[in-house]
């Protein structure tokens, strides 16, 4: 009998939650990386699968190997593939160790790779593109950890000026008056690995259009284990579904390799109330996500025909 062929590379998980694509891999302890092309942003880098290289910015949540291992390769491959040097956002406590890592590669490779490292303290923001800011918050894990929310800055004419002519508004502006209100819309939150805490019940998190979080433990008896490893359990996800906006899609990542996806679907169908089920997605549920995407395609096509 002939030996078998090696396993194929893992296929990236894919979800389209308009207007965002999420594409990446996430299995607890092995690899976590989630790319959002519409935001030019990647959360964590995992082993740096080639498909995420176009992301010019990577926001690292914490220093565990399954989230960071590909970082030197990311920095080195972008220029090699003709792209600008990458920028990596990290917890201030990771800044020095990551510089050390890049310095070690200079000795190993006998050449220097260009890279940008930006420490971001909890509460601070970094502009990722026009009017879009990445805001860091402190998460709770076994090592220093951040979560991130992407905020879109929008402005609206102050109520007192509504109804005035363009000329009148310009007059007020010239007189030095603030004519617009500025507000921030939370688009996507990525919690990274984390235990439960107040940082998960802020408006930024609960009002995000997409909330990507971890669910390392699902079985009813595993809540204590989740607490010890500073991870979340499905019970916490139910709390998040309850507290978040009706518009929020919650995407689960970081499930254990041991949990079979068929079993995951069954567990969710059994434990998640029907009214929430359509808002809860699993990044690595390739079968479920494919069916969902095909339905989106069919709907888009039907709309197109309707418009013709």
Binding site for Zn ion (CB under 5 A): 64, 66, 193
Residue closest to 48 by CA, chosen among 38, 35, 37, 64: 35
- Inter-residue contact 241 to 281 (CB < 8 Å): no
Q: CB 274 → Zn ion: shortest distance, Å?
A: 31
CA 204-232-192 angle, 5° bins = 55
CB of 140 to Zn ion, least distance (A): 11
| CB 229, min distance to Zn ion, A | 8
Task: Give the torsion sign (CA, 153, 154, 158, 164).
Answer: positive
| Residue 149 vs 253, nearer CB to Zn ion | 253
Q: Based on CB atoms, which residue is closest to Zn ion, 64 or 91?
A: 64
CA 121 distance to own-chain centroid: 18
The three-state DSSP-derived secondary structure of 182-248 is EEEEEEEEECCCCCCCHHHCCHHHHCCCEEEEECCECCHHHHHHHHHCCCCEHHHHHHHHHHCCCCC
The residue (of 64 and 209) whose beta carbon lies closer to Zn ion is: 64
**In angstroms, what is the minimal distance from the CB of 253 to Zn ion?**
9
Which residue number, 64 or 199, has a Cβ lying nearer to Zn ion? 64
| Nearer to Zn ion (CB atom), residue 69 or residue 280 | 69
> Minimum Å distance from CB 232 to Zn ion?
11
**CA 59, CA 33: separation in Å to the nearest integer?**
10
């Amino acid at each position: 009998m002939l030996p078998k062929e090696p396993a194929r590379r893992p296929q990236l998980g894919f979800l389209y939650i308009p207007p965002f694509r999420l594409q990446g891999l996430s299995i607890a302890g092995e690899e976590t990386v989630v790319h959002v092309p519409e935001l030019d942003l990647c959360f964590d880098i995992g082993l740096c699968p080639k498909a995420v290289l176009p992301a010019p910015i990577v926001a690292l949540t914490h220093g565990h190997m399954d989230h960071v291992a590909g970082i030197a390769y990311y920095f080195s491959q972008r220029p090699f593939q003709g792209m600008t040097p990458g920028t990596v956002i990290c917890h201030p406590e990771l800044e020095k160790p990551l510089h050390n890592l890049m310095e070690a590669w200079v000795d190993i490779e006998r050449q220097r790779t260009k890279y940008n490292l930006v420490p971001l303290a909890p509460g601070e923001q970094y502009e990722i593109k026009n009017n879009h800011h990445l805001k860091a918050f402190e998460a709770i894990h076994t090592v220093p950890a951040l979560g991130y929310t992407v905020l879109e800055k929008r402005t609206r004419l102050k109520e007192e000026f509504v109804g005035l002519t363009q000329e009148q508004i310009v007059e007020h502006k010239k007189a030095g008056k603030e004519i617009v209100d500025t507000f921030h819309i939370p688009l996507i939150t990525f919690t990274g690995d984390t235990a439960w805490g107040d940082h998960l019940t802020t408006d930024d998190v609960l009002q995000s259009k997409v909330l990507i979080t971890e669910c390392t433990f699902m079985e009813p008896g595993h809540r204590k284990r989740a607490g010890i490893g500073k991870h979340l359990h499905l019970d916490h996800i139910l709390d998040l579904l309850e507290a978040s906006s009706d518009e929020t899609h919650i995407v689960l990542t970081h499930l254990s390799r041991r949990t079979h996806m068929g079993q995951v679907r069954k567990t969710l169908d059994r434990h998640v109330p029907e009214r929430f089920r359509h808002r809860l997605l699993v990044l690595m549920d390739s079968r479920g996500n494919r069916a969902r995407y095909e339905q989106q395609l069919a709907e888009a096509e039907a709309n197109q025909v309707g418009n013709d």
